Structure 1
C-alpha cells in the first residue's frame, strides 16, 4: 500500500486520462463534422455557394464562441455543486452539442443551418472552458507538463481521427453525424466519471457588485498581463494556420489537386493517419521532456516554426505527396505544440481565482483560430486561389513563434 506522501509524489494520471477522454469527446466530433461532413453536406445542398457558406459558418461560430467561452468560464468558476465546478457544465455542453448535430441532419435550410451552428458553438464551449480549468484546479505545478501531455496526445489524435472517421461517411452524411453524436455523449459522460471531480457545494461564492461584475466577464486587466497576451495571440496564429489547412482539406484535394471524390477520401485517410501517429508520438514525449528540462517556451518556438515549414509544403506542388509531407512535418510539430500548450496557458494566468475565465479567454485562441483559419482561407482562395493559403499559414506560424519567444515569465 502506497503512503499518502508517495501518492502525492506521483503525477495524477487519472486526471490526465480523464482530460484526454474529454478532449476526444468534443474535438473528434467537431473536426469530423466541421472539416468533412459539413463541407460534404454543403457540396450536396449548395455546391455553388459552398466556399462562402463555410466562411459564414466560421464567422457565426467565431462570434458565438468568443462570448460563450468567457461566459461559461465565469459560470463554472462560480458553480457550487456536489459534483464540483466543472462537471455540470461538461455534461450540459455534451448533451447540447449532440442535440445540435441531430438538428443538422434534419434541415436543408442554409439560414437554419447557420442558426444551429451558432447554438452548437455555445454548447461546445460549455465543455471546452471548464474542461481546461481542471488542469489548473487539480494538477500540481510540477506535473502540469506531464498531465498536459495527455491533453496534447488526445488533441493530436482527435484532429486526424475525426477526419478519418468522417471520411468513411462521405456518401452517408447523416450516418456520419449520428456516429459523432454517439461519440460526444459516451465520451463526455465517461470523462467526468474518470476525473471524478470533488464536490464543492459548501464553498463560499463572493457576490459581485459594480465593477467586479463587469471585470468577471472581461479580459484580465490586473496582474502580469504581458505574457498572458503574448501567449494568447501566439496561440491564435498557430491554430488559425492549422485550420487554414484543416478547414479546406477536402477541397484542397478535390479543387487544388484535382482528385476525384474517391481519391480525395483515400488521400484524406492517409494524411490523417500520418497526422495522428506523428502527433500522438511527439505529444506523448514532449510534456515529460518539458518538465525535465524546464523549457516550455523554447519547445513552443521550435514547434511553431517547424509547423510553419510543414504547412508550406503543398505550396510547392499541387500533388497529394505534399499533403503527406505536411502531415509528417506538421503533425510532429503540432504534436509538440499540443503537448505543452496547456502547460503554457496555466503558467501565464494572471489570477488563480479566475482560472476558468482566463483559461477560457486563452482558449479563445483555439476556438477563434479554428474559425479564423477557414475565413482567411476563404478570402485568399476567392481572391488569389488555393496556392497562397499555404504561404499565409507559414507566415502566421513564424509570427506566432516570435510572440512565444518574447514571453518572459516562462522558461
Structure 2
C-alpha cells in the first residue's frame, strides 16, 4: 500500500525550499531537480511546443484573417479584434487552472502528462470546428476552443522546466525550448501557405494539415515522456477556498515575481498587438499585392517571417548558452527587449517593404534572445516549490492577458487614434514601442536574479 504523507502547505513549502538540503522525506515529484538532464528532455519539450505554436501562429496570421476577410471584408478589423479578444480571454483561464490542478494530479502516468494529452485533444476538436466554419460565430467558437486548449498545453509544457531541469542548466534548456518559436513560425507558415497554394486556397485542407502536426508532435511526446508519479496524500487536502485564494500571489511578499509578471505582460502585449495586425498592415498600408502582382499577402508574411526566424534561431541559441556560461539573466532580457522596441519603431516611421524586412529581422533577434533567457529568469522567481504548476500558470496569465487585450489595443490605435489608415498603423507601432521599453525598465528592480 502506498505511503500517504499529508503536510500542511506551510510545512511542505518550508521543506521543499530548504536551501541546499538533500530532500529525502518528500515524494520525488515534489523535489527540486538536481540531476543533470542533458539536451534530450529540453529537445523533447521543444518538439512538443512546436506542436502548438506551429498551429496557433499560422491561424492567427493567415487563416483567421483570410476567413474573416471572405465573410466580412468591410468590418474585418473590428471582427478580427473581437474574435481574438474572446480567444485570449479563454486562454487566460486555462493555464493557471490547469497548472493548479496538475499540481494535485495523482494519475499513474504522472502529474503533467494527462493535461498535455487533454490540451492536444482539445486543440484538435477546435481545429475540426474551425475548418468547417462558414459563419463568423462558428469561426469565433473554433478559435476560442483552439486557444483555450493550446494555451493549456503550452503552460503545462513550460512547467516541465522547473519540474525536471536543474537551475544551472535552465539557460541552455530555455534556449533549446525557445527554438520552438522560430521553428514553429516557419514550419506553420510554410505548411499553410504551401497547402493553400496547392489546393486553390482551401482553408479546410489547411486546417487538416495542422491537425496532423499537433497529433504527430504532441502525441509523440506524451507517448515517450516519463515523469514521477505524485503519491496520493502528498499534497494537503483540497479545500476550494484555499485553492481559489492560492491564485493570488502578493506583490508585496514576492516583488520579484510581480516585476517579472509585469515585464512579460508588457513585452507580449506589444508583440501580440503587432502580430494581430501584421497581415492587414502588409495588405492595406504596404500594399504588398500591388507591389508584387501575382503574389499574395500570405506569401509576403511567409517571407518576412522566415527572415525573422533566421535571426531568432541564432539569438536564441547564443542568448541561452551565454546566459548559462555567466549565470546572468537580467542583462540579456533587458538588451533583447530594447532591441525588440527598436524593431517596432521602424515601421512606425517608414511604411515600405524594405523597412518591413529590416523590422522583422531585428524583431526576430530581439524576441529570440528574450525567449531564450526570460523563461529561465521566471523559473528562478517562482514563489513556492510545491505549487510550481499553479505559480507558473499565474505567470502565463501575463502572456494570455496580453493576447486577450492586444487585439483591442491594436484596433483602438488603428481606428480611433488616427484619421487615416497609414496614421493608424503609425500609432499602432508607436504604442507597441513604448510598451516594450517599459518592459525593459521593469526588469532592473528584480533582486533575486542577476
- Structure-2-length-normalised TM-score: 0.85
Structure-2 residue corresponding to 1:241: 270
Question: Do the aligned partners of residues 203 and 189 (structure 1) sit closer, same or farther apart at CA in structure 2, a change above 3 Å counting?
Answer: farther
CA contact (8 A) 1:167 1:268 kept: no
Matched, 1:303 2:339: no
CA contact (8 A) 1:143 1:291 kept: yes
Structure-2 residue corresponding to 1:143: 169
Higher alpha-carbon deviation: 196-205 or 184-193: 196-205
TM-aligned CA deviation for residue 221 of structure 1 = 3.2
CA contact (8 A) 2:119 2:152 kept: yes
Matched, 1:291 2:324: yes
Q: How far apart, in 2, do the equivalents of 1:223 and 1:406 lie? A: 13
Question: Do the aligned partners of residues 97 and 391 (structure 1) sit closer, same or farther apart at CA in structure 2, a change above 3 Å counting?
Answer: same
Which of residues 186, 191, 195 in structure 1 aligns to 2:216?
Answer: 186
Q: How far apart, in 1, do the equivalents of 2:43 and 2:439 lie? A: 29
CA contact (8 A) 1:283 1:338 kept: yes
CA contact (8 A) 2:92 2:404 kept: no
Q: How far apart, in 1, do the equivalents of 2:395 and 2:115 lie? A: 18
CA contact (8 A) 1:282 1:335 kept: yes
Larger Rg: 2
Aligned 1:10-409 pairs, distance under 5 A: 10-168=36-194, 169=196, 171-201=201-231, 204-209=234-239, 211-216=241-246, 218-221=247-250, 224-260=253-289, 262-383=295-416, 384=418, 385-409=424-448
SS of aligned partner of 1:277: helix
Question: Do the aligned partners of residues 265 and 126 (structure 1) sit closer, same or farther apart at CA in structure 2, a change above 3 Å counting?
Answer: closer
Q: How far apart, in 1, do the equivalents of 2:180 and 2:323 lie? A: 18
Q: Which runs of 5+ in 1 are unaligned?
A: 1-7
Question: Do the aligned partners of residues 45 and 389 (structure 1) sit closer, same or farther apart at CA in structure 2, a change above 3 Å counting?
Answer: same
Q: How far apart, in 1, do the equivalents of 2:328 and 2:100 lie? A: 31
Higher alpha-carbon deviation: 358-367 or 200-209: 200-209
Q: For 1:312-368, what per-residue CA distance to the aligned partner results, in whole angstroms no more than 9, with x for missing partners?
A: 111222111111101211111111001112111101101111111111111122223
**Which one has the bigger helix percentage?**
1
TM-aligned CA deviation for residue 198 of structure 1 = 3.3
- Structure-1-length-normalised TM-score: 0.93
